[in-house]
Amino acid sequence: MKSFVSEKDIIELKKYDVNYDEDIIIFLNEMKHYLYKTWIKEYHKDIDKCGNTIEDFNTLMGNYPSNGGREIISNSFECASDEDLEVLSEKTIELLGYFYHIHLN
């Protein structure tokens, strides 16, 4: 199975001051926190089961990059408030844009 993140991605991300091995852990923790804040409690058990890899996160997001997965992640930010977004660091926002094409201002 081909990995979601390639060596080329890791090299490209360094241009944006992203250390993949360190920053992906922060990304996953911040995204889980964000999803707890924004998803209804019924889905919190799914967040609880999510492991600590980007592949696990993609599974949580409906097997991203599937069409359903794209819709889930897009909808997760559709009505985000500034307060909800405060839990996301600049590097997490950078990774959202790079991997998921979610660009937050």
Kindly report the three-state secondary structure assignment for every residue of the chain: CCCCCCHHHHHHHHCCCCCHHHHHHHHHHHHHHHHHHHCCHHHHHHHHHCCCCHHHHHHHCCCCCCHHHHHHHHHHHHCCCHHHHCCCCHHHHHHHHHHHCCCCC
Q: In this model, does residue 32 exceed pLDDT 90?
A: yes
7-17: average pLDDT: 95
In this prediction, residue 2 carries a pLDDT of 63
Closest CA to 88 of 38, 20, 53: 38
- CA 50, CA 56: separation in Å to the nearest integer? 6
Q: In this model, does residue 1 exceed pLDDT 60?
A: no
pTM (predicted TM-score): 0.93
In this prediction, residue 27 carries a pLDDT of 98
Spell out the domain ranges in the chain.
Answer: 22-100
- Per-residue pLDDT reduced to its tens digit, 49-84: 999 999 999 999 999 999 999 999 999 999 899 999
In this prediction, residue 105 carries a pLDDT of 73
Q: Do the Cβ atoms of 30 and 92 come closer than 8 Å?
A: yes
